[in-house]
Structure 1
Amino acid sequence: MRLFTEQDVDQLATLFHLSITQGASSHYSADERAVWSQAPRSHQDWLTRLQPTTTWVAVERGVIAGFINLKPARLKPSDGAEEVLTADIDCLFSHPDFTGRGVATALYGYLEEYAAAQHIKELTVEASYLAKPFFEKQGYKVLSKNRHPRAGQVLVNFSMSKVLINK
C-alpha cells in the first residue's frame, strides 16, 4: 500500500474502466456499464479528480490491484449542538484480476485508520450494488437509494454512512 503518484493515473483510469465493464457485470447490464464507463477517462480527468483527495493504491507484482480515495474533510451540522467532521469516500475499485483477494479490505483499513487519525467522526460513500455489501460489512448504514438517469439508462447506487469511534 502506498499513496498514489501522478505516474499511476493511467493505470487507475484503466483499472476503473475494467472494474466497471468487467467487475460490475453481475450487478449492472451491458447498457448501464456502457454509459457508466464507455472508455478509460483521460489522464487529466483522473488527475483533476484525484489531486484534491488522499488516494491509496494497492500494488502487487508491479500492477495496481486497487485504489481508494478520500475527499477533504468538512464540518457538518449534527443532531446535537456541535458540528461533526465528516469526509466522503470517492472511489474504491479493485482490478477484476484481483477480486476476492482482500484488496478492498486492505485499502479500506488504511483509509479508516487515516480518517480516525484526522479526527473524522463520520465517513460517507455512494456505493454501487456491487460495493454495498462490502460497506455494510464495514458497518455502514444505507441512508437512501439513488437513481441517476444517464443517456437513457438509470444507474442505481446507495448513499451510506458510518460513524467512527475514534480511540
Structure 2
Amino acid sequence: METLTLRPLRADDGDIAGAIFFDAVHRGAAAHYTPEQRIAWAGASPNTAGWRTMCVDVDGFMAERNGEPVGFMTLDANGYIDLAFVRSDVAGTGAGWRLYQAVEARAEDLGIARLTTDASLTARPFFERQGWTVEREQTVQKGAVALTNFKMAKRLARRP
C-alpha cells in the first residue's frame, strides 16, 4: 500500500527539489508549453546547484510517497506561493492537493489573509479547483522566449 506523507521542506532538499522541478516542467507541463519554452523555464538539463540555496530558510512542505520525495510547495511571509511542483508520475494522485492543504493551513496559522501566486498554464486549473481566481494573464520573458502565466489570488477565511 502506498503512503503519502508530508514533512517540512529542509535546507538539504535542494537537489531533489531541483529534480522534481525539472521533471514537472519538462514532462508535466509538456501539454501546455513548447520544448523551447520548457528549456527557457527550467533549462535543458537539471541544475540542482541553485536549488541548494533556494531551500535554505524557506517555509514549505515536501510530499513523500513511501519515503521518496515526489513534490513540494513553498509559502513566503506575504502569502505568496512561489514554488508548487509535483513529479509528473504523481500528478493527479492527490500529492499536490495535500501539499496545498498544508500550505493553506500554515498561512492561516500565520494570520495571512490572502494568498497569491503566478500560476502556469498547467497549474491554473489546480488552483481554480482550490477556490482561487485569476486576477490577470501575464507574459513572462525568459531571455527571448515568452511564457504565459496567471496572477492568481485567494482570500482566506478567518478562523474563530
Instruction: With the length of structure 2 as denominator, give the TM-score of the two structures.
Output: 0.90
Secondary structure, aligned partner of 2:99: helix
Task: Answer whether contact 1:69 1:92 (CA < 8 A) is retained.
Answer: yes
Q: Which residue of 1 aligns with 2:137?
A: 145
Once the two structures are superposed, what CA deviation does each residue of 1:29-84 show, in whole Å capped at 9, x if it has no partner? 111101111122233x22332323202000112211110000123xxxxxxxxxxx
**1:14 Cα shift?**
0.6
Larger radius of gyration: 1
Once the two structures are superposed, what CA deviation does each residue of 1:5-43 show, in whole Å capped at 9, x if it has no partner? 233211110110011011100100111101111122233
Q: Which residue of 2 aligns with 1:107?
A: 99
Cα separation, partners in 2 of 1:165 and 1:140, compared to 1, 3 Å: same
Task: Answer whether contact 1:53 1:72 (CA < 8 A) is retained.
Answer: no
Instruction: With the length of structure 1 as denominator, give the TM-score of the two structures.
Output: 0.87
Q: Which residue of 2 aligns with 1:154?
A: 146
1:50 equivalent to 2:55? Answer yes
**1:93 Cα shift?**
0.3
- Structure 1 residue ranges without an equivalent (≥5): 74-86
Amino acid at match of 1:95: R
**1:140 Cα shift?**
0.9
1:124 equivalent to 2:116? Answer yes
* Distance in 2 between residues matched to 1:164 and 1:114, nearest whole Å: 11
Structure 1 segments, 4+ long, off by >3 Å, are: none
Question: Which one of the candidate residues 39, 64, 82 is aligned to 1:34?
Answer: 39
Question: Which one of the candidate residues 18, 27, 30 is aligned to 1:25?
Answer: 30
1:8 equivalent to 2:20? Answer no
Task: Answer whether contact 2:85 2:96 (CA < 8 A) is retained.
Answer: yes
User: Could you tell me the percent identity over the aligned residues?
Assistant: 31
- Structure 2 residue ranges without an equivalent (≥5): 1-5
